[in-house]
Amino acid sequence: MTAPPLVFSPEVAAAQAAGAPVVALESTIVTHGMPWPRNLETARAVEDELRAGGAVPDTIAVMGGAIRVGLAPDELAGLARAGQVAKLSRADLAVALARGQTGATTVAATMICAHLAGIAVFATGGIGGVHRGAETSFDISADLRELALTPVTVVAAGAKAILDLPKTLEVLETLGVPVIGYRSDDFPAFWSRSSGLRAPLRMDSPAEIAAAHRMRARLGLPGGQLVANPIPEADEIPLDEISPVIERALADTANVSAKAVTPALLARILELTGGRSLDANVALVRNNARLAAAIARALA
């Protein structure tokens, strides 16, 4: 078998050679999760947050037939501006690579690429999950199954409240994915600190999270961990404020299906909140980067 087509940036290669902490970042949040130019500003701010936290940022994307492990500043800017970039999940990854297409990686695809590259920690905003109405649409993100398969610890602000959060937690439990509330008894709902649901597990330090990650490997358990890190209090949109907005956005995007659902909902919520949802989104991703850097340091 030939090796996977990985191309490391000089910064990530040097960090790995030195055994220094590296944290993976996804690119779909840049191409599909936020509008230009805030997407690029945020991607840069998140990379800076990781560096300030003592970890090297590794934004992952697919370009020219290779998995790019760390992007140069102009490559990141190119992706952020591009507009029509493919959104790649597990099902799409090999096809895009074989065809030499450019694509942005979702949580699922970023986990696969990070693991191939030897990176154990990944920071993002929110994971995909079970969509509302899944009992008829069967729309369940491949992110959930990936967490059961691929040994990467993912730091997210829970799952977006546009999803069916009780069903999302049930599926994660069925799949055997540890869902860890960070310094919180509640499962966060992205823009809001609490979803009103309990987090199945709770941990209060990066060292504990790192120890649990290592123990899974010792046990030979496949799959990763979901660290659910609530948005900082000053930045949150409380659930009672965002809930009616979500209902409205769901109604307005009822004709959208499959991969387009999450981007369409996010864009509509951005309009309906006059940009406040985006400010909260930026704040929570930066907060997740800070925690991911600390976990990566504890693992290094």
Separation CA 63–CA 277 (nearest Å): 30
Region for residue 243 given its phi and psi (left: phi exceeds 0; alpha: psi -120 to 50; beta: otherwise): alpha
Q: Output 16 or 288, the one with its CB closest to ligand PSU.
A: 288
125 binds, among ligand PSU, Mn ion, none (CB under 5 to 8 A by kind): ligand PSU
Select the residue interacting with ligand PSU from 9, 16, 28, 102 (CB under 6 A).
Answer: 28
Q: What residues make contact with Mn ion under the rule CB under 5 A?
A: 139
168 binds, among ligand PSU, Mn ion, none (CB under 5 to 8 A by kind): none
Separation CA 60–CA 292 (nearest Å): 16
Residues shown for the chain: 300
- Note the Cα 78 to chain centre separation in Å: 20
290 binds, among ligand PSU, Mn ion, none (CB under 5 to 8 A by kind): none
Site residues for ligand PSU, 232-291, by CB under 6 A, read 259, 262, 266, 281
Amino acid at the residue 227: V
Residue 165 Cα distances to 78, 92, 109, 117, 239, angstroms: 34, 26, 22, 31, 13
142 binds, among ligand PSU, Mn ion, none (CB under 5 to 8 A by kind): ligand PSU
Q: Which stretch binds ligand PSU (CB under 6 A): 120-128, 176-184, 223-231, 269-277?
A: 120-128
Q: Which stretch binds ligand PSU (CB under 6 A): 48-56, 139-147, 206-214, 269-277?
A: 139-147
- Note the Cα 229 to chain centre separation in Å: 12
Interaction between residue 192 and ligand PSU (CB under 6 A): no
Residue 155 Cα distances to 4, 136, 182, 245, 255, angstroms: 25, 30, 9, 25, 31
Minimum CB separation of residue 268 from ligand PSU in Å reads: 13
Interaction between residue 106 and ligand PSU (CB under 6 A): yes
The site for ligand PSU (CB under 6 A) is made up of: 26, 28-29, 32-33, 89, 106-107, 125-126, 128, 141-143, 259, 262, 266, 281
